A and B are shown apart, each in its own frame.
Chain A
Amino acid sequence: MIPLMQRWRHKRPAVIGLVTVLVFVGIPLVKALADDRTGGNTGQESSPSVSDEQDSKRLMMARCAVCHSTDLIVQQRLTLSQWVKTLNKMERWGAQVSSAEQTQLANYLAARYHPGASGSLEQTAQDSLEAPITEPAIHPGMPEHPEGRPDHGQRLFGQNCVPCHGPAAAGGMGPKLANNPILTDERRFWATVRQGRGAMPAWSAMLNAQEIADIQAWLKTLE
Chain B
Amino acid sequence: MSHNTRAVSRRAFLGRLLGGAVAAWAVGYLSPETLWGQTSKQEPQGNPGLLTRVTRPFDAETRVEEFASYITPNDRFFVRSHFGPPPPEQIAENVWRLHVRGLVDRPLELTLKDLAKFERVSLTAVMQCSGNGRAFHRPRAPGVQWERGAVGNAKWTGVRLRDVLSHVGVQPSARHLQLLGADRPVSTMTPLFLRSIPIEKAMHPDTLLATHMNGEPLPLPHGAPLRLITPGWMGDACVKWLTDLTLQTEEAKGFYMETAYRYPAHPVEPGTAVPPRDMIPVEAMVVKSLIVSPVSGAALKLGPVTVEGVAWTGEGKVVTVEVSVDDGQTWANARLVGEDAPYAWRQWQFIWNPRQPGARTILARATDDRGQTQPMTSPWNPGGFLWNGVDRVQVEVKSA
Contacts and interface: CB of A to CB of B under 8 A. Distances in A.
B24 A199 contact: yes
Interface in A114-136: 115, 121-122, 125-126, 128-129, 133
A98 interface: no
B330 interface: no
B76 interface: no
A61 interface: yes
Interface string A65-98: 1111111100111100010001000001111000
Given A76-B140, A197-B29, A67 B185 contact: yes
B82 to A, nearest CB: 10
Contacts of B360: none
B28 A199 contact: yes
A95 B185 CA distance: 12
A70 B34 CA distance: 10
B142 A82 contact: yes
B350 interface: no
Contacts of A76: 140, 142, 145
A191 to B, nearest CB: 14
A173 interface: yes
A129 B40 contact: no
B136 to A, nearest CB: 10
A75 B143 CA distance: 9
A62 to B, nearest CB: 12
A140 B22 CA distance: 38
B253 to A, nearest CB: 16
Contact of B40 (A93, A115, A121, A133): A121
Given A76-B140, A173-B21, A69 B38 contact: yes
Contact of B145 (A23, A61, A121): A121
Contacts of B24: 199
Given A69-B56, A122-B40, A93 B187 contact: yes
A69 B54 contact: yes
Contacts of A200: 25
Given A70-B35, A198-B25, A198-B29, A94 B186 contact: yes
B39 A121 contact: yes
Contacts of A129: 36-37
B219 interface: no
6 contacts: A66-B186, A68-B54, A68-B57, A75-B53, A94-B189, A95-B187
B144 A75 contact: yes
Interface of B: 21-22, 24-26, 28-29, 35-41, 52-57, 59, 135, 139-140, 142, 144-145, 185-191
Given A69-B55, A72-B144, A76-B142, A163 B187 contact: yes
B140 A94 contact: no
Contact of B142 (A78, A173, A196): A78
A153 interface: no
A164 interface: yes
A100 to B, nearest CB: 21
A82 B384 CA distance: 14
A198 B22 contact: yes
B164 to A, nearest CB: 32
A207 B35 CA distance: 18
Contacts of A77: 140
Contacts of B41: 122
Contacts of B59: 72
A115 B191 contact: no
A172 interface: yes
Contacts of A199: 24-25, 28-29, 35, 56
Given A94-B187, A173-B21, A126 B140 contact: no
Given A65-B35, A69-B38, A128-B37, 6 more contacts: A66-B186, A67-B190, A70-B36, A71-B54, A175-B22, A198-B28
Contacts of B186: 66-67, 94, 163-164, 172-173
A69 B144 CA distance: 12
A-B pairs, top 3 by smallest CB distance, nearest first, are A94-B187, A198-B29, A199-B25
Contacts of B40: 121-122, 125
Interface string A169-210: 000110100000000000000000000111111000000000
A93 B190 contact: yes
Nearest to B26: A198
A129 B37 CA distance: 6
A67 B52 CA distance: 17
B37 A125 contact: yes
Given A78-B142, A122-B40, A94 B55 contact: no
Contacts of A94: 185-190
Interface in A125-173: 125-126, 128-129, 133, 163-164, 172-173
Nearest to B55: A69
B193 to A, nearest CB: 13
A69 B35 contact: yes
Nearest to A65: B35
A71 B185 contact: no
A223 B112 CA distance: 40
Given A70-B35, A125-B37, A125-B40, A93 B54 contact: no
Name the residue among B24, B52, B140, B190 with the largest chain A CB count within 10 angstroms.
Answer: B140
Nearest to B30: A198
A94 B189 CA distance: 5
B140 A128 contact: no
Contacts of A75: 53, 144-145
A133 B35 CA distance: 12
